[in-house]
Amino acid sequence: MLAPMASQTPAAQPVAFQINTSDNVATLLVPAQPGPVTVRGAAGESQIIGREAIEHGHKIAVVAIAKGEDIIKFGVVIGSATCAIEQGEWVHLHNCGSRLDERSNAFDVHTGVPEDVRYE
């Protein structure tokens, strides 16, 4: 005899971790689809709306970030916005450039392969 199936519960809301209160990005602890994301960490807990699919371990903007503004993680500037970034958007190579290595702005967003080098 089969046991009755347990009732289905909705999938848990994705969580991102904000390390320092000055951070304008948080790191996703699980993959996220567009929709609500819980941000936990130094500043307590808040909710934002993710605007796109983002893999776990990647950054999500917890506030709007203007073009040229610092990207802050760990309470440290890790780069600058190469375009305006809306709250809830993925922050990665396509919109965040290094101030230490100009080549970082020429990497493929998904593979990390340099786009400014031609391979024969």
pLDDT, tens digit, 9 for 90 and up, residues 91-117: 998 899 887 655 555 556 566 555 655
pLDDT average, residue stretch 82-95: 95
pLDDT, tens digit, 9 for 90 and up, residues 12-64: 799 999 999 999 999 999 999 999 999 999 889 999 999 999 999 999 999 99
Domain ranges for the chain, please list them: 15-106
Reported CATH class of domain 15-106: mainly beta
18 close to 41: Cβ distance less than 8 angstroms: yes
